[in-house]
Amino acid sequence: MALRSNEEEQYVATIATFVDREVRPVARDLEHSNTFPADLIERMKALGVFALVVPERYGGAPVSASCFALVAAELARGWMSLAGAMGPHSVVCSLLATFGTEEQKRRWLPRLATGEIRGAMALTEPGGGSDLQAMTTVAKRQPDGAYVVTGAKTWITNARRAGVIALLCKTDPSAEPAHRGVSLLLVEPGDGLTVSRDLSKLGYKGVETCELSFDGYVAPAEALLGDVEGQGFAQMMRGLELGRIQVAARAVGVAQAALDDAVCYAQQRESFGQQIWKHQAVGHLLATMATKTEAARQLVLHAAGRYDLGERCDLEAGMAKLFASETCLEVTTDAMRVHGGYGYSPEYDVERYYRDAPLMVLGEGTNEIQKNVIAKQLIARATKGGASR
């Protein structure tokens, strides 16, 4: 799927230059010290990264989903955590642009576009994992229309620094089926909302991942996304199509970084009198890594192209996320093998890629969930008599 314009190509190239000149030289130290990349986030704001899915009339600089995915891949190539800072924020912007009331769009989108405030998504619960319909967070409507929220969420990226959080909760716990009682609230930091702790992680350092607790938190009536209760599950499923494309793009970026480093090292390192890539075992490893990384990129662009057409793409996004994340896991492991013992050292970036890769297998719905989504959509499309592509 080609980019829409030369301007989009130039924009992706600008992000790639930013990554090479400003991100890669500092990423290792920032990651090892688990330091929030404040300066890099400011540069991302200046480059318009947080405005890519916001309509122009609200101050955004919208691009195609293909361009959006390639930008995410470039950021992840430099440091996956930067793409993580962009991802949930962009899904919140997309939810607002697609489902928000005019008042909600005017209130939130201009500030989200500049990065003045950033968005976060609160879906996962401590006891629920990927089973979103089993959530126990409840928003009880009061006579004045406001909602009193009680519950907990976990693994929430950007939560400590977010200005608005898209909270998935039950506004009608007795609804059947359960998803008809689920709504999205746009909540702000305030009394009754506590960021209880930052979670320690294997990788994905620098950006915060937190637990949230809601205890008598009061959200006004106008916090309900779209102004109609019971639409939250469908709204979030559409948002997750973009989210899964973005996570798949992150996986492509990390895989590309690992491949690039492995190719470079294989030319520098010699054994038995020749560069190690000339040994068939290493050369074939590089060939397989490159082929799978490119295949993953094309799956991501295919899903992004369908998203741009406004068509349902949970099948394509699920396939892209499944294949790209598993490829990233494999390629980062193989890059470590190419580096030998040095790949296990924190003096090389390969060990960081190896630690970051598992997140994409688990995040935005585990790969086991992706397989369920893919299978369900394959059957649904076959039943309708349509092709699966």
For the stretch 190-216, pLDDT in tens is 999 999 889 999 999 999 999 999 999
54 and 157, same domain (yes or no): no
Residue 4's pLDDT band (boundaries 50, 70, 90)? Answer: low
Residue of 178 and 232 predicted with greater confidence? 232
Q: Which of 211, 229, 247 finishes a domain?
A: 229
Give CA–CA dist 189/201, Å, rounded: 24
Lowest pLDDT segment from 116-130, 198-212, 244-258: 116-130
295 and 312, same domain (yes or no): yes
Residue 5's pLDDT band (boundaries 50, 70, 90)? Answer: confident
Q: Which of 118, 135, 153 finishes a domain?
A: 118
Q: DSSP labels for 306-345?
A: HHHTT---HHHHHHHHHHHHHHHHHHHHHHHHHHGGGGGS
In a domain, 198, yes or no: yes
Q: Is residue 330 annotated as part of the catalytic site, yes or no?
A: no
Give CA–CA dist 147/141, Å, rounded: 4
Q: Is the pLDDT of residue 227 over 60?
A: yes
State the burial class of residue 173 (Cβ atoms within 10 Å of its Cβ: 0-12, 13-18, 19+): middle
> Which amino acid, one-letter code, is at 62?
P
> Average pLDDT in the 172-193 region?
94
Asked if 158 and 88 count as a contact pair (C-beta separation under 8 A), the reply is: yes
Asked if 82 and 76 count as a contact pair (C-beta separation under 8 A), the reply is: yes
Q: Which of 229, 250, 278 finishes a domain?
A: 229
Contacts of 315 (CB under 8 A, 6+ apart): 373, 374, 377, 378, 381, 388
Q: Is the pLDDT of residue 334 over 70?
A: yes
pTM of the model: 0.94
In a domain, 105, yes or no: yes
70 and 160, same domain (yes or no): no
> Which amino acid, one-letter code, is at 164?
V
Q: Is the pLDDT of residue 37 over 60?
A: yes
Q: Is the pLDDT of residue 387 over 60?
A: no
Residue 288's pLDDT band (boundaries 50, 70, 90)? Answer: very high
Q: Is the pLDDT of residue 302 over 60?
A: yes
Q: How many domains does the chain have?
A: 3
Helices (H), 115-231: none
Q: Is the pLDDT of residue 168 over 80?
A: yes
> Average pLDDT in the 135-145 region?
95
Q: Is the pLDDT of residue 98 over 70?
A: yes
Which tens digits make up the pLDDT trace of 59-88?
Answer: 999 999 999 999 999 999 999 999 999 999
Q: Is the pLDDT of residue 153 over 60?
A: yes
State the burial class of residue 222 (Cβ atoms within 10 Å of its Cβ: 0-12, 13-18, 19+): middle
**Of the residues 31, 208, 351, 364, which is catalytic?**
364
> Average pLDDT in the 106-127 region?
96
Q: Is the pLDDT of residue 110 over 70?
A: yes
The range of the structural domain enclosing residue 79 comes to: 6-118
In a domain, 1, yes or no: no
Give CA–CA dist 104/100, Å, rounded: 6
pLDDT at 2: 55
212 and 126, same domain (yes or no): yes
Summary mean pLDDT of the chain: 94
26 and 81, same domain (yes or no): yes
In a domain, 352, yes or no: yes
Instruction: Please tell me what DSSP assigns to residue 115.
Output: T
Q: Angle at CA 132, nearest 5°, toward 128 and 135?
A: 60
pLDDT at 44: 98
> Average pLDDT in the 373-379 region?
93
pLDDT at 291: 98
